[in-house]
Amino acid sequence: MSRHPIGDRAMTDAERQARHRAAQAAGMPVIRIRRPIDRRGRAQRWDDTVATLVSLQAEYAAWLETMPEATRDSATGDALQAVVDLDLDDLIAIRPPRGFGRD
């Protein structure tokens, strides 16, 4: 996502660097925005991902059911049918290992 220019045009690299150095010299605090760390374990991420796949498959099945009969033979209908036909039971049944010393 791009940011809008502060003035009427975008700053050059030299202007941006000069603004940064002036802010450092003035003692302005540095603001760093960090993304939140995903603290879920691998097993929880696996469960969440499988649950997402199952819900998406249900959404695609509903989409396929509401499609007009004439468009079910199209590329979209074929792709939806392929997703609906996937057997996710094996993925649901898998329990990933917890890791060294925690089995």
Q: Are 86 and 54 in contact (CB under 8 A)?
A: no
Q: Read off the tokens for 103.
A: 């089995």
Residue 102's pLDDT is 60
Cα separation, 32 vs 50, in Å, equals 34
Residue 81's pLDDT is 94
Count Cβ neighbours within 10 Å for each residue of 48-76 and write b for 16 or more, e otherwise.
eeeeeeeeeeeebeeebeeeeeeeeeeee
Would you give per-residue pLDDT tens digits along the chain (103 residues)?
566 777 788 889 999 899 989 988 998 887 888 888 988 888 899 999 999 999 999 999 999 999 999 888 899 999 999 999 999 999 999 988 877 656 4
Domain spans of the chain? Answer: 42-93
- Alpha carbon dihedral 42, 47, 52, 57, in 10-degree steps, equals 130
Sign (positive or negative) of CA dihedral 10, 15, 21, 25: negative
Residue 55's pLDDT is 97
